Amino acid sequence: MQSRHLIGLAVAAGLMAALPAYAETVFKWANDGDVRSMDPYTIDETVQNSFLGNIYEPLVRRNKQLGLDPALATSWESTAPTVWRFHLRPNVKWQDGSKFTADDVLFSYKRITAKTSATSGNVGSVAAVRKINDLTVEFDTKEPDPILPQEFTNWPILPMAWMIANKSEEPLVVGNGDSFAHRNTMGTGAFRLASREPDRKNVLVKNPDWWDKPEHNLDRVEFNVISAASTRVAALLSGEMDMIYSVPPQDIDRLKSSPGIKIIQGPELRTIYLGMDQARDELLFSDVKGKNPFKDKRVRQAFALAIDTDAITSRVMRGQGVPLWEMWAPGVNGYNPALNVRPKVDLAKSKALLAEAGYPNGFTVTLDCPNDRYIADEGTCTAIASMMARVGVKVEVFARTKVKYFADIAATAGYKTSFYLLGWTPSTYDADNVIRDHIASRDMKLGLGNASGYANKRVDQLEPLISQELDPKKRQAYIDEVIKIVQDEVGFIPLHQQRITWASRDNVELTQPADNSFPMRWVVKK
């Protein structure tokens, strides 16, 4: 009996050994910079929003064509000119097993509108929110808001009980201390945070209890931070990485011709622009004392006339950008090609304007720039410095990692900049988002992204009209009026629209939305 029993165990063990082991599907990708925090209310930036969008979810999400899809809300309707009702999805669980309810929505609204929040603009038109029942919420808007569902696509909902239990009721500004929500997550999304090593690697694992049907086939996602472009490219070519983003412009042709590699390219909704401090009476970082040269329109015009965006996009970016003269790019609702006519470079006129403004010999100013956020960002800033030198202006480029850069120029830091390069993709894919967050004056308590301090009374009057207008023609006329004012005053200097360029192994299927987000729920690795 004993020998038969042992033989049976041996046979069973042999059969089990013969069965194929489950092969975990691991997707590894790399970017040149890390997310700054696991708290989605600390910064409104694409890499941050995109990564955390795999963990936290909004009421309404974007599909592959950037249209609207139900997420934590199954449907919504406007029940009155200033009232929107959202019906919440039943049987959704947070990743600790607790139920998602209307209380989480009310808590998230209170949290995102806290003074320390950096993303309150995503709910800027909301005046009040109330719970009808556990699965129904109503929002009162300050004025009629025809695009409220679009605005909500960039508002992740957070778990009330978990945040309170971990003393994270309010977002904590990055750099102002530690917070449990900076290091940990608790979402409803397709993936869970497994581990985080800041500036090195973040690991996600699939959420087996996700409410939606997965289109991906991933068990584990490793997001690696590889700041050096050559190292990032080498990691893809060797097979160490399955995908890289961003792709250095100088390596695109080589990658295209490499076996087993594919390039994915498309236009992005982002506009890269220059901002100039027009609020302070004296610039923080300049040799001009006792006054602010950027308060003079002639100086701003001189800068615009000296910068050759064609040279930047063709040489520095190697074709990965298209020059712009509007603050929103093609693909954004409100873009008008008739107004996208950039003034030609005119160095003689630029010098004459500087002389008229009292700077015949130019002046010195620091240009703040990230070196790991946009395509050829530091190279673009360096090129601008060379161009401005031709008219006598000495531009000192201060380039650093985006973590330090964004911390300096943010509203919470007091906009510590005199001259800066910034990129913006409107979260609603509508021009009003740019106007609200970057162009409206700080007095409007909307323009938190307006690091320049630019202000125009007519623009401030037009913004609420744009946000409320239901007639498309009238609304477009208001948007056009704003951009004409900004162009005439040279309130900002638009530079270019980026092209998105990703590179992956050829056994990976990716979806590349024009907002440059990277949802893991659409990734398939064969």
Q: What is the pLDDT of residues 6-17, one digit of tens each?
A: 334 343 444 444
CB atoms within 10 A of CB 349: 16
Mind listing the domains of the chain with CATH numbers? 39-175 (3.90.76.10), 192-267+500-525 (3.40.190.10), 269-498 (3.10.105.10)
Task: Provide the 3-class DSSP secondary structure of residue 421.
Answer: strand
Q: Which residues have a Cβ under 8 Å from the Cβ of 223 and sit 6 or more positions away?
A: 29, 30, 31, 51, 201, 202, 203, 204
- The pTM (predicted TM-score) of the whole model is 0.74
Give me Rg for the CA atoms of the chain. Answer: 25
Sorted by sequence, the CB contacts under 8 Å of residue 453 that are 6+ apart come out as 277, 278, 279, 280, 415, 441, 442
Residue 364, SS3 per DSSP: strand
List pLDDT tens digits, range 288-307.
999 999 999 999 999 999 99
Going residue by residue through the chain (526 aa), what tens digit of pLDDT does each one get?
444 443 343 434 444 444 455 689 999 999 998 998 999 999 888 889 999 999 999 999 999 988 899 999 999 999 999 999 999 999 999 999 999 999 999 999 999 999 999 889 889 889 999 999 999 999 999 989 988 999 999 999 999 999 999 999 999 987 778 899 999 999 999 999 999 999 999 999 999 999 999 999 999 999 999 999 999 999 999 999 999 988 988 899 999 999 999 999 988 999 999 999 999 999 999 999 999 999 999 999 999 999 999 999 999 999 899 999 999 999 899 999 999 999 999 999 999 999 999 999 999 999 999 998 899 999 999 999 999 999 999 999 999 999 899 999 998 889 999 999 999 998 889 999 999 999 999 987 766 789 999 999 999 999 999 988 888 899 999 999 999 999 999 999 999 999 889 999 999 999 999 888 999 999 999 9
What ranges in 270-329 are assigned the alpha helix state H?
297-306, 309-311
CB 243 within 8 A of CB 236: yes
Burial 202-211 (b: 16+ CB within 10 A, else e): bbbbbbeebb
- Determine how β-strand 321-323 pairs with β-strand 493-505: antiparallel
CB-based burial label for 3 (10 Å; 0-12, 13-18, 19+): exposed
Cβ neighbors of 88 (< 8 A, separation 6 or more) are 59, 72, 73, 74, 100, 101, 102, 105, 134, 135, 136, 137
Do the beta carbons of residue 139 and residue 128 sit within 8 Å?
A: yes
Cβ contacts of 397 within 8 Å, gap of 6 or more: 366, 367, 369, 378, 381, 382, 385
